[in-house]
Structure 1
Amino acid sequence: MVLIQETKKSCMDENFARFLWPGDDLGYIGVDVEGSSGGLLCLWKPEVFQITGCCRSRNLVLLSGLAYLRLGCFIVNVYVIVVGEGIFGSFLKEVKKAWVSAPVEGWAGFRIMAKLRSLKQALKIWNVEVFGHVVSKLKVAEAELHSWDLVVEERDLTEAKARKRIEVRDEVWQSRKKLESIWLQKSRLNWALKRDKNTRCFHIMASRRQSRNLIDSMKINDTLYEEPLELKQAVWVYFKDLFTEGWKVTPRLGGEFSCIDQGQLQRLESDFSEAEVWVAVKECDGNKAPGWKVTPRLGGEFSCIDQGQLQRLESDFSEAEVWVAVKECDGNKAPGPDGFNLFCIQKGWKIMKGDIMDFMKEFHANGVLGNGINCSFVTLVPKSNCPESIKDFRPISCIYKVLSKVLV
């Protein structure tokens, strides 16, 4: 009998099973992969194991039967998803350490911003220490594992060397999972979660996204900019002028205002006379394009909210609805200026929820956002396939997602 984990096959049939184990008589049961990892397969000879029952799920295959037609037994094939102390085992520990140890006072929004900055610096150090150079580490580990495999083919290993081989094999597996996560982040495609990263199409799409997002030159106000610093400054000035009011001083209404008397009010509320209607018709330009043939009107009954619904709308934000909003967001979207996407908040919700709920309560009470709390990147999305001018791009901004989603 052979038990295989991590098959990464979306459809396992008899042809695939016989490819792995050629022969006339063969029994097999498999679990198809979901996402980019997983997949289980059990193979056996009917004369060695006779199956009487089966139970399977995404991570488990349980077989019951008779071994050599006389010994009752259970066979378990498990795909273990490592949580906590796995690849990112120290991630949440580092998040909790940096979040709790940051002594910040002030408004909740300001505290969140300061703690995110502190967390960003801590995670940069963690990234170098834990991830490091994944590709080079993987090559070294694979070479060492290959040398151990050659030794095993020649002679049996001692207990200490066998443990060392298991450690090297575990390091190879972890390095491969790290590399897959890096490629997934580079691609940021939904279908990447359902395909193996080691395909030519995957690499082309990941590289194409980077090349398409690159802006190496742009024409702004009939001037072509190619130098990165000059281009950056010109784009900043263009959108600064675009989003800035032209008024140096906002005009305000002041002075004394005359009021209408009772006679003027009665004339305003009186019925329309034939004379004033004819004056209005006569003064219109009769050469204009025709309008609606039938003027649209709103009809029907409109439901109103009751007192209970009104109270729920005006009530404080609950932790449950905030968590639902966080959980429903796509955590793999591009990060904001603080360097974090929603996936980080989703994973660290138990650590961050106290400060986040304080921020939500303060906003509900005051209706004011602290300076910089809703800062965001302005991403230039091309309107055409070959954009040349700044006018060929449209700006799109990522708003403060958690608050806006709860409000909606």
Structure 2
Amino acid sequence: MSRSRLAKDMDKNTRYFHNIASTRRRNNRVDALVINGRLVRNQARIKIAIREFYKNLYHQEESPMVGFRDGLVGMISEEDAAALEMLPSAEEIRDAVWDCESSRAPESDGYNFNFIKKCRDQIETEFTAAVVGFFQTSRLPADTNITWVALTPKFIEAKEIKDLRPISMVCRVYR
């Protein structure tokens, strides 16, 4: 009975609900962190230290560009290898989009191919440039795969970055 009342009261805009929310916010707030052995309370310095920590932890290593003609694949002819390395034309990109199922999307919040087909006149230039850019560099544009990280303390009064649990909020293609 008490649990059902608690759940019912938490959904209401009551003082009880606000006290729980305020306590939770206070417990999850990172007011100070130990950085390089020193306690830092400056929020700007804390943000910079956290950003650098995760940049160093999850950095992307450079990989060499390898083509079909570099001996990676020896089963195809030289002309087939050259054809595979050619940049796609705008018509090929358009045909590939039109061959995809219109109602499919990467996730429930993603744009489906119907959006790309319907808005082709407005986005075709940028879309084609993004696809060709990927084939030229083998990299997606930097803002394609953005991940925001929210940090929550693993316990009350966490003081080091390792005491914080990262929760990723991903806006991505990643596939």
Larger Rg: 1
Give the TM-score taking structure 1 as reference length: 0.24
Give the TM-score taking structure 2 as reference length: 0.49
